[in-house]
Structure 1
Amino acid sequence: MTDHFGSCLCGTVSFELTGDFDSFYLCHCQHCQKDTGSAHAANLFSQSAKLAWRSGAGCCGSCLCGTVSFELTGDFDSFYLCHCQHCQKDTGSAHAANLFSQSAKLAWRSGADAVTSFTLPGTRHKKSFCKLCGSALPSTQIPGLLVVPAGCLDTEISMAPTAHIFSSSKAVWDEGLGDVPKFEGLPE
């Protein structure tokens, strides 16, 4: 049995199909031409696949090893690039990139038992991650607040970062990066 995921062009409507397809047809009738604005419609058919509609402008994500996957429904309130020293240590990078929401809902699709959390004693710094590969994952440790590391999302988001925060802790080497050479892949 196979899982298939899809959505409309803007991502507002999404769905999941569980099962296999029986046939694939290209229909050239005038109705399909008008409906698609194309020479034909391309349709998959199944007698047994189960369809599940996903509500809202949701997005999906997963960990690096693929054990954990999740779905989010709802909107993000803010998107912060945090330069505090805890986030630098936590990510091993110049900053964390986290989306925040007080209303979005998180549903684990797989691997919920592989999600673990860490709270730095004496601070508000919290992190959820996959205990197999270490990838950062959404956190609900603060009541009423969902924190989602932007890098764990598999679907694109249109929200631009709201602000850089804790810029007084910014790494010294995180200056003038616009002048650093760029490569499409690993340089030779």
Structure 2
Amino acid sequence: MNDPVTGHCLCGGVSFVVTFSTENGINLCHCQMCRKQTGTLFSSWAIAERSAFSWQSGEDQIQSYPSSPGHERTFCSVCGSQVPMTGGNQVAIPMGLLNEDPGIRPQRHLFAASAYAGYPISDELPQFEAAPPEWGQRPERSDAGDTIPGMINGGFLCGTLRFHITAPPTKIMHCHCSRCRKSRASAHVSNLYIDPDTFVWNAGEENVTLYTLTDTQHTIGFCKSCGATAPLVFPGLAIVPVGNLDDVVDVSNAPHIFCGSKAPWFTVMGHVPQFDTTPG
């Protein structure tokens, strides 16, 4: 067994301790449900035995959403971070929540057939088109709603919120800072930065909850029904999670920022711009 590690959501209300077996590995899941909930290009999680996991605080602020038959996705009702999902004798741990090196590394890509076309898989890890055989049939689900031709369309896991963007982004970045990793519970976040005048809510704006981390300006938006990460619209700037998108935007060559803070278990692949903090 590896050493115990701690983890918590962005607001710190939900916290836990877990120990991973040396036989464990991290799953990188590209299914649309994971992308829609986390707002990221893929989710990052690992299985631990229930006996090696314990809640430290915040079980009463966990909310769940039934994303498919027999499967509920859990998130913090205060800050929207995806949190561990318990079931039977095992627990699925979102890796972006961890505070220390868990001693395990990515082992495979799941639902690779659903991977976001604007960010091709570039490493040599094994790829499964859907779930691995030992899990049985776990069909992909699409919640894409009505789309507007010629626009960049997107929405939430639960389908209550829809939006479109009328012009290309002004900037694209992948951020590895600890706050972003906590808020999305994954390896890193990927965002479009756009002129707010080009962003249009189609439906469900009233379902978005905002949370600002204490003593900072770091703000996250999430759906109060399913916990999906939401776009943020400020005066002069809108930030759109790439995982929300139904249409393809090429984000493969966008810079990776705050790599000095990246998760110790994740490696940025390819010859892409990388910065310890921000460019310049």
- With the shorter chain as reference, the TM-score category is 0.5 to 0.7
Matched-pair contact (CA < 8 Å) for 1:74–1:104: no
Q: How does 1:98-113 map onto structure 2 within 5 Å? A: 98-102=45-49, 104-113=51-60
1:112 positional shift? 1.9
TM-score scaled to structure 1, two decimals? 0.62
Give the Cα–Cα distance (whole angstroms) in 1 for the partners of residues 50 and 11 of structure 2.
28
Q: Secondary structure at the match of 1:120?
A: strand
Matched-pair contact (CA < 8 Å) for 2:20–2:104: no
Q: How does 1:77-92 map onto structure 2 within 5 Å? A: 77-92=24-39
Which structure exhibits the higher relative contact order, with contacts defined as CA atoms closer than 8 Å and separated by 6 or more residues?
2
The equivalent residue for 2:260 is: none
Q: Secondary structure at the match of 2:10?
A: coil
TM-score scaled to structure 2, two decimals? 0.43
Question: Deviations for 1:70-129, whole angstroms, at most 9, x for unmatched residues?
Answer: 1113526331000111111111111000111245432221222112222214364x3222
Q: Does 1:179 align with 2:124?
A: no
The equivalent residue for 2:265 is: none
Task: Specify the structure having the higher radius of gyration (Cα).
Answer: 1
Q: Secondary structure at the match of 1:65?
A: coil
Matched-pair contact (CA < 8 Å) for 2:45–2:94: yes
The equivalent residue for 1:157 is: 102
4+ residue runs over 6 A deviation: none
Closer/same/farther in 2, CA of residues 104 and 82 from structure 1, 3 Å limit: farther
Give the Cα–Cα distance (whole angstroms) in 1 for the partners of residues 25 and 41 of structure 2.
19
Instruction: Give the aligned CA root-mean-square deviation in angstroms.
Output: 2.2
Closer/same/farther in 2, CA of residues 80 and 88 from structure 1, 3 Å limit: same
Letter in 1 for 2:38: T
Q: Secondary structure at the match of 2:277?
A: coil
Q: Give structure 2 stretches of 5+ with no counterpart.
A: 123-251, 253-269
Closer/same/farther in 2, CA of residues 179 and 74 from structure 1, 3 Å limit: closer
Q: Does 1:116 align with 2:208?
A: no
Give the Cα–Cα distance (whole angstroms) in 1 for the partners of residues 57 and 36 of structure 2.
28
The equivalent residue for 2:78 is: 132
Question: Deviations for 1:117-143, whole angstroms, at most 9, x for unmatched residues?
Answer: 22214364x322211001111110x32
Identical columns (%) = 32
Closer/same/farther in 2, CA of residues 117 and 134 from structure 1, 3 Å limit: same
Q: Give structure 1 stretches of 5+ with no counterpart.
A: 1-11, 13-55
The equivalent residue for 1:68 is: 14
Give the Cα–Cα distance (whole angstroms) in 1 for the partners of residues 41 and 85 of structure 2.
21
Matched-pair contact (CA < 8 Å) for 2:51–2:89: no
Q: Secondary structure at the match of 1:185?
A: coil
1:151 positional shift? 0.3
Closer/same/farther in 2, CA of residues 102 and 68 from structure 1, 3 Å limit: closer
Give the Cα–Cα distance (whole angstroms) in 2 for the partners of residues 103 and 110 of structure 1.
16
